[in-house]
């Protein structure tokens, strides 16, 4: 695999990882704020958390594929 593709894959992995972390934390914080405020959490908060978890899983899959391709 050429170094250009390795660099692109590495950047993509980091973007997915950071996006996953931020989305998971934001979803949990917003859900906690809604529950402490006495409101029922909106489905959007669960969706944000799911997107974060999916991004983290995709980052792991991309790392595994990159290791296989080496």
pLDDT digits (tens, 9 = 90+) for 45-68: 889 999 999 999 999 999 998 888
Q: How confident is the model at residue 70 (pLDDT cuts 50, 70, 90)?
A: confident
Torsion angle in degrees (nearest 10) through CA of 33, 39, 41, 44: -90
Q: What's the average model confidence in pLDDT over 15-25?
A: 95
d(CA 8, CA 1): 11
Q: Is 55 helix (H, G, I), strand (E, B) or coil?
A: helix
Confidence of residue 15 (pLDDT cuts 50, 70, 90): very high
- Distances in Å between the Cα of 26 and the Cα atoms of 3, 7, 23, 29, 64 are 34, 28, 5, 5, 27
What is the reported pLDDT for 60? 95
- pLDDT bin (cut points 50, 70, 90) of residue 22 is very high
């Amino acid at each position: 695999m050429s170094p250009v593709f390795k660099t692109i894959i590495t950047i993509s992995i980091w973007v997915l990882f950071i996006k996953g972390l931020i989305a998971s934390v934001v979803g949990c914080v917003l859900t906690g704020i809604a529950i402490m405020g006495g409101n029922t959490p909106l489905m959007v908060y669960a969706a944000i958390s799911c997107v974060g978890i999916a991004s983290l899983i995709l980052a792991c899959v991309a790392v595994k594929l990159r290791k296989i391709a080496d």
